[in-house]
């Protein structure tokens, strides 16, 4: 048990998320008590959650599960598509940095995934905004600040605003 969570509670929230998305055939998530459990929550199609994520509560956890399930189902959907997107992003970057390309693909995918969730259901709005508000409250990069500002404007919702010109530029794309 980590952060007051039993595996049974984790699976209960997981099953609720799976039912939201027509029960995709993904392996059950696991709790990783190590520091590495916080690094990347979706390894080999298995969702891994760590103590910091569990401390954020049931609704945050359900949002994370929903978000990752939609990544799996729709965007990028497959490792092949993710690779093609990363190669295209790398070609489009002036320095061709592969880490930057993967980061851009992840941001693009996150925007697509959560926009889809908001369009699909009003019930998802609170969960989606919880995730982005949580991100905005962390020590984030200027790129993440621009994306959060852009999403607030794009979705017409109250997200923390960083008043960056890059947010306006994203709206014009």
What is the C-alpha to C-alpha distance for residues 145 and 151, in angstroms, rounded to an integer?
10
With vertex at residue 124, the alpha carbon angle to CA 119 and CA 128, rounded to the nearest 5 degrees, is 95
The pLDDT of residue 112: 95
Q: What contacts 92, CB < 8 A, 6 or more positions away?
A: none
SS3 142: helix
Q: Is 167 exposed, middle or buried (0-12, 13-18, 19+ CB in 10 A)?
A: buried
What pLDDT was estimated at residue 42? 66
**Joined tokens for residue 2:** 């980590």
pTM of the model: 0.85
> Which residues of the chain fall below pLDDT 50?
37
> How is residue 124 written in tokens?
């998802």
């Amino acid at each position: 048990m980590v952060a007051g969570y039993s595996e049974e509670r984790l699976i209960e929230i997981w099953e609720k998320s799976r039912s939201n998305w027509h029960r995709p055939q993904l392996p059950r998530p696991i709790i990783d008590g190590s520091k590495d459990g916080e690094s990347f929550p979706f390894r080999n199609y298995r969702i891994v959650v760590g103590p910091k994520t569990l401390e954020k509560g049931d609704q945050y956890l359900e949002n994370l599960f929903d978000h990752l399930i939609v990544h799996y189902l729709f965007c990028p959907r497959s490792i092949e598509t993710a690779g093609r997107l990363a190669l295209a992003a790398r070609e489009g970057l002036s320095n061709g940095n592969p880490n930057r390309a993967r980061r851009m693909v992840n941001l693009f995918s996150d925007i697509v995934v959560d926009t889809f969730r908001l369009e699909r259901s009003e019930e998802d709005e609170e969960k989606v905004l919880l995730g982005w508000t949580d991100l905005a409250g962390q020590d984030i990069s200027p790129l993440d600040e621009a994306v959060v500002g852009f999403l607030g404007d794009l979705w017409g919702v109250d997200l923390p605003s960083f008043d960056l010109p890059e947010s306006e530029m994203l709206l014009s794309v």
